[in-house]
Structure 1
Amino acid sequence: MKKWVTAIGTIILGFSLTACGSSGTATNSSESSSKSEDKVITVASQTTPMTDVVKVAAKVAKADGWEIKLVQVTDNVAYNDMVASGEADASFAEHKPFMEKYNKEKNASLVAIQPIYDAKVGFYSKDYKSVDDIPDGTKVAIPNDASNQGRALAILAEQKLITLADGVGTNGTIKDIVENPKNFQWLEVDLLNLSEAYSEPDVSLVYNYPTYIAKVGLKPADALFLEQKVDSRFAIQVVAREDNENSDKIKALKKAMTSDEVREFLEKDHSVTLIPAF
């Protein structure tokens, strides 16, 4: 995974609460400012459509007196680091297995709060039109992190292209492959770079998410094959910390993120790439 990078931008969503009362003293002004800050929910995210969902939720939260501040980062580590350190109240950018991997590696205490949508994931090929066309020795690009790699391998197993060890499910790695009849060659790539791997001349099969494969002009309908059995653990989640998961801020965020307005946005604007999970 990439190392921490600085957030590239902070987008203030919703509205700022104004202080009540007359001119007041400096102390009253400070107290009012503090109360206003208590109504701000900072959410870290990485790219569309996650950032767009947060913006829709911000409009909903505004009606209840909350301001959602979106902090957009450029990699798949920064949003977790921000939540873990307390710089952000929550994030919206990952599925539960990826969060659990971060917790284990960083000794963190992040918590999956609410699934929002399941992305339509699968394998893409610029060289083949059907599974039967895939020849022996094909180079296959898959994620290099265990949580996403396991899901990719499970999809290949669904297509009978490989066989995984009994009981592995979506938790496998390359080491858990017990049969590889087409002698696939494996290229392990950072999730954010899989779309670039698609264009490599010696790579003929690439796993990817709709968000990232869109960089090369493709969508799930263009996939050679998609995931058949969706594992709910891979739904993109609102994530917080153990010490704030029951706070008013997170309750308000969860309410806004599971609103009718967010569902309508997902169904009308992104039905091609995802399925609502609430």
Structure 2
Amino acid sequence: MKKKTRNKIIAVIALVVVVLIGYFSFFKKDVAADKTVKVGIMSGSKESTEIWDSVAKTAKDQYGINLKFVRFTDYNQPNIALVNGDVDINAFQHYAFLKEWNDANNADLQPIGDILISPIRLYSKKHTDVKDIPNKGTIAVPNDTSNESRALYVLESAGLIKLDTKAGALATVKDITENPKELTIKELDGSQTASALSSVDAAVVNNDFSVPAGLTNKEVIATEPLDENSKQWINIIVARKDDTDNQLYKDVVKAYQTKETEELFAKLYPEKGTIPAWNLKLK
């Protein structure tokens, strides 16, 4: 009888142990799942992918965070996905784009960390100098509000047009006050500006699209200057307003803003088409 009782006790203990092991195993997996962060980024160049792969490794090794990337092909989707909760944070836009998007969509997404700046450039496959652009030539620019403004400022700095805007204000083609060569400004979706180079005299192309299109410094005829007005063009990591103090997301920012990432930028972008922005000193 005692033997049967002892066996029952052993069986009960064994069952409890199995249950506890299962519970703690599940709990451990659940905790691990809680440290997964979905990051919305653009489907872009191998350089951008390599940088994010490095950041993901740092996030995992130093903070125990698993980064899961959700890739997009146009600028309209990442913020919608963030608002809807399909991603936790995103990293594809600059301050000016975020402000314009928030205003247009009655949203309040917030920046939580600077990451990079890519001075945009005027490219041409037909001319080697802005002076060579003919009268009544055509220049393609991105058609979204903030990037079109940025492109127009590049054309102004290159001496092709003059704008009448308040300092730092977003410019439109309506703000062009001088256009001595009577240039046609062709507004296109940002993803189409690079492919338009075969049919226009020049195009202002964002880095997200210039690198995949295989454009190099050989086709550059003007570059955006980095000055105090450039703050608005710094790319940022963005979160929902209620998540700006989320330590998990702050740690992702820390995983990005490292010496290793700086060195990787220098290696991948020797021509400085894209540079780290978190320690950037603007003139």
Q: Which bracket does the TM-score occupy, shorter chain normalised?
A: 0.7 to 0.9
Aligned to 1:59: 57
Identity among equivalent positions (%) equals 29
Match of 1:76 in 2: 75
Counterpart among 12, 20, 28 of residue 24 in structure 1 = 20
Query: TM (normalized to structure 1)?
Result: 0.85
In 2: Cα distance, 1:214 partner to 1:57 partner: 20
Deviation at residue 27 of structure 1 after TM alignment: 5.3
Residue type of the partner of 2:38? Answer: T
Instruction: Say yes or no: does 1:40 pair with 2:28.
Output: no
Mapping for residues 74-223 of structure 1, pairs under 5 Å: 74-169=73-168, 171-200=170-199, 203-223=200-220
Answer with 1 or 2: which has the greater Rg.
2
2-structure distance, mates of 1:179, 1:54: 42
Q: Distance in 1 between matches of 2:257 and 2:210?
A: 26
For the residue of structure 2 that corresponds to 1:33, the secondary structure is helix
Hey, what's the Cα distance between the residues in 2 that align with 1:179 and 1:30?
A: 67
Whichever residue aligns with residue 53 of structure 1, its letter is: I
- Give the drift of 1:22: 6.8
Q: Distance in 2 between the 1:128 and 1:238 partners?
A: 37
Paired letter, 1:225: A
Describe the shift of the 1:225–1:127 C-alpha distance in structure 2 as closer, same or farther (beyond 3 A). same
Letter in 2 for 1:184: L
Distance in structure 1 (CA, Å) of the matches to 2:159 and 2:65: 49
Count matched residues: 256
4+ residue segments displaced more than 6 Å: none
Q: Secondary structure at the match of 2:242?
A: coil
Contact 1:263 1:276 in 2 (8 A): yes
Q: Which residue of 2 aligns with 1:263?
A: 262
1:276 aligned partner: 276
Unaligned stretches of 5+ residues in structure 2: 1-16, 279-283
Greater displacement, 45-54 / 128-137: 45-54
Deviation at 1:77, TM superposition (A): 2.0
Distance in 2 (CA, whole Å) between partners of 1:223 and 1:122 is 6
Q: Deviations over 1:243-264 (max 9, x none)?
A: 1111011111111010122111
Structure 1 residues 101, 51: closer, same or farther in 2, change over 3 A? farther
**In 2: Cα distance, 1:193 partner to 1:23 partner:** 58
1:183-205 deviation line (CA, Å, top 9, x unaligned): 111210011111111122xx101
Take 1:216 and 1:37, find their aligned partners in 2: how far apart are those partners? 37
Are residue 225 (structure 1) and residue 222 (structure 2) matched?
yes
User: Structure 1 CA distance, aligned partners of 2:117 and 2:243?
Assistant: 25
Counterpart-to-counterpart distance in 1, 2:131 and 2:110 = 42
1:96/1:233 contact within 8 Å kept: yes
Q: Which runs of 5+ in 1 are unaligned?
A: 1-20
How far the C-alpha of 1:234 sits from its partner, in A, is 0.8
Q: CA deviation at 1:168?
A: 4.8
The CA RMSD over aligned residues, in Å, is 2.0
Query: Is the deviation greater in 172-181 or in 206-215?
Result: 206-215
The 8 Å contact of residues 128 and 219 in structure 2, kept in 1 or not, is answered as no
Post-superposition offset of 1:112: 1.5
Structure number with higher helix proportion: 2
Question: What secondary structure sits across from 2:159 in the alignment?
Answer: coil
Q: Cα offset for 1:215?
A: 3.9
- Partner residue in 2 for 1:13: none
Q: TM-score w.r.t. structure 2 length? A: 0.84
Aligned partner of 1:38: which letter?
A: D
2: CA distance, partners of 1:238 / 1:258: 11
CA separation in 1, counterparts of 2:118 and 2:156?
Answer: 19
- Give the conservation status (yes or no) of the 8 Å contact 1:122–1:226: yes
